[in-house]
Amino acid sequence: MPQMRARQIRTSNGARAGRGWSALLCSLILVACTTDLDDLVAGRRSRAEIDAGSRDGVVDGPSAPDKSPGSGSTAVVAAPSPREPDSGAGPASPTKPLPEVVGPFGSAETMLPEAGASSAPDQVLVDAGGLTPSVVPSTLPSVPLTTLDAAIDDCPDDPLKTEPGVCDCGVADSDSDGDLTMDCEDDCPTDPFKIRPGQCGCEVEELVDDIDGDDVIACLDGCPNDPVKTEPGLCGCNVEEQIGDADGDGVIDCLDACASDPDKIEPSVCGCGVPDLTDEVGSVLCQQLGQALVHRYSFDGASTVVALDSVGAAHGSVVKAELDGGMLSLAGGTSDEYVNLPNQLFDGLTDVTVELWVIWRGGNAWQRVFDFGSNSAGEDAQGEGLSYFFLSPSTTEGTTYAAFGPAGADVAVSAAGTLIEGDLAHVAVALDDTGDQLVLFRNGQRVASTPTTYSLTDVQAVNNWLGRSQYTSDDEFTGSYDELRVYATALSDAAVAFSYSQGPDATFPR
């Protein structure tokens, strides 16, 4: 092969660039790797057409033997223009310029020429095997860049991918829950602890134990701690499915927080069974009673001799009698049966109301429903009264009678008629030191009152008895006690009437 020497070539825009053998060989390698270039352009030129171009005399140098298709790769180069001497330089070099090497995607400065371009130089087809240049017309069909892009993009319809990756084209390779498993392969893509639902499902701890023994695993049991239910139903877990309506208020019992109160389904201010009534100044009556209550004796229990104070812990002792089913019954007469409450029961109080529900069973006059005070015999003994605060169910005049103060100088209130024998009666006596009144109530109504200037400190309450008098000559109370309450205020008429209407078992918010 004749010795080839380096040439200088002129680019399509007139710029000059040096090319050596290394540039030519690199182009030949590119052409060899891109065997389908002729298919990308409009049709494959026949070798005969190429030879026809050579007869135009535009190729310098000897012609290489004709190569059959497939015998070697080719590169396209631009046909040289006659070299013109540089201004002020010596004579033109006898060296002829090399053609411009054009790779499969254009020269270093231009891509494939646009179809029909007339200003591009002619091109030379260089045979990679024999290094024999041949002329190719400069006008080649245009190859759209999108066609070239599709040739190297494995996801041509996915603008975010050029490779299928783990999840394939059109599906993002994302791991939403951070469990190192792609969402497309994760059956629980938002559960960082699971990639498969298991028995319990996604985002549910795999609790497969049967906690309540109802043969349903915990994660599938709507009531995992209720052996009777696997679903809450209407009433909820651990609640008996009571769908009756005991109080007839249209709400089933299990959803009615006041199932026995037809006026409420929630306790509200006063609780179930107690209406939220107010007095003339807007004060809620149940709150007045609850907040003023300091001692309460309900005489609950059986075969016991202790009268429990459920509010103030001033527990009393039952003498020679016993509680019986929520009532305390006393024989009366000279049986010496009574209840002994703690001394100084009213310490710290200025005003006071004593309220009771009792059954009087008759007997002699001047019995005592209660008697708080002192007598000549001292503590725990009867004698002659010295000071007292007492209530009698009957007098020789046939009245209900209350008195307060020192013996012989006390103030008293009385109402016509005794307590009705055998009936449960409501009675209350209020000492209003602030208002200077002593008031008697019977069955929720004010029945008598009188002015007084006495205070609680005017009575030495060392013998605080139920059913027993400070005077030896008076009989014990014959009857039963259901409820005793002591309030640290002189209750209003409205409050007493409200308490009576609610009965002995009512409870009020404190």
In three state form, how does the secondary structure of 220-241 look?
HCCCCCCCCCCCCCCCCCCCCC
Q: How many CB atoms are located within 10 Å of the residue 126 CB?
A: 26
pLDDT of the residue at 170: 93
- Round to whole Å and give the CA distance between 383 and 372: 14
Token pair listed for 239? 């609640």
């006659």: which residue's tokens? 82
Token pair listed for 278? 């107010």
Of 440, 421, 420, 419, the C-alpha closest to 429 is 440
Of 1, 7, 21, the C-alpha closest to 60 is 7
- Round to whole Å and give the CA distance between 456 and 489: 12
- Round to whole Å and give the CA distance between 255 and 464: 46
**Distance set, CA 495 to CA 68, 280, 284, 437 (Å):** 123, 11, 9, 17
Cβ atoms 141, 37 nearer than 8 A: no
- Round to whole Å and give the CA distance between 72 and 62: 18
Answer yes or no: CATH 2.60.120.200 is held by domain 285-502: yes
pLDDT of the residue at 99: 47
Cβ atoms 218, 208 nearer than 8 A: yes
In terms of Cβ atoms closer than 10 Å to its own Cβ (0-12, 13-18, 19+), residue 25 is middle
- Give residue 298's Cα distance to chain centre: 42
Length of the chain: 510
Q: How many CB atoms are located within 10 Å of the residue 16 CB?
A: 9
Token pair listed for 143? 């190859």
Looking at the DSSP bridge assignments, the partners of residue 78 are 100, 123
Beta-strand (E) ranges in 201-334? 293-297, 306-307, 316-319, 328-330
Domain ranges of the chain: 8-148, 285-502
Q: In what order do the strands lie in the sheet with 123-127?
A: 100-102, 74-78, 123-127, 133-136
pLDDT of the residue at 54: 44
């791991």: which residue's tokens? 175
Give 10-residue mean pLDDT values along the chain (510 residues). Answer: 35 37 44 43 43 44 42 42 44 45 42 44 46 48 53 91 94 94 95 93 88 91 92 90 90 93 93 92 95 96 87 94 90 96 92 98 98 97 97 98 97 98 98 97 98 96 97 98 97 97 93
pLDDT of the residue at 207: 83
Alpha helices (H) in 281-344, listed in sequence order:
285-292
Q: What angle do CA 462, 464, 470 make, to 5 degrees?
A: 85
pLDDT of the residue at 326: 86
Of 23, 12, 27, the C-alpha closest to 127 is 27
Cβ atoms 442, 424 nearer than 8 A: no
- Round to whole Å and give the CA distance between 35 and 506: 103
The three-class DSSP label of residue 8 is: strand
Cβ atoms 151, 175 nearer than 8 A: no
Euclidean distance between the first and the last CA atom of the chain, given in angstroms as a whole number? 120
The sign of the CA dihedral 188, 194, 200, 205 is negative
Query: Which residues contact residue 201 at a Cβ distance below 8 angstroms, ignoring those fewer than 6 apart?
Result: 219
Cβ atoms 307, 289 nearer than 8 A: no
pLDDT of the residue at 142: 54
- In this structure, which amino acid lies at residue 425? A
- Give residue 280's Cα distance to chain centre: 42
**Distance set, CA 344 to CA 291, 307, 463 (Å):** 21, 17, 9
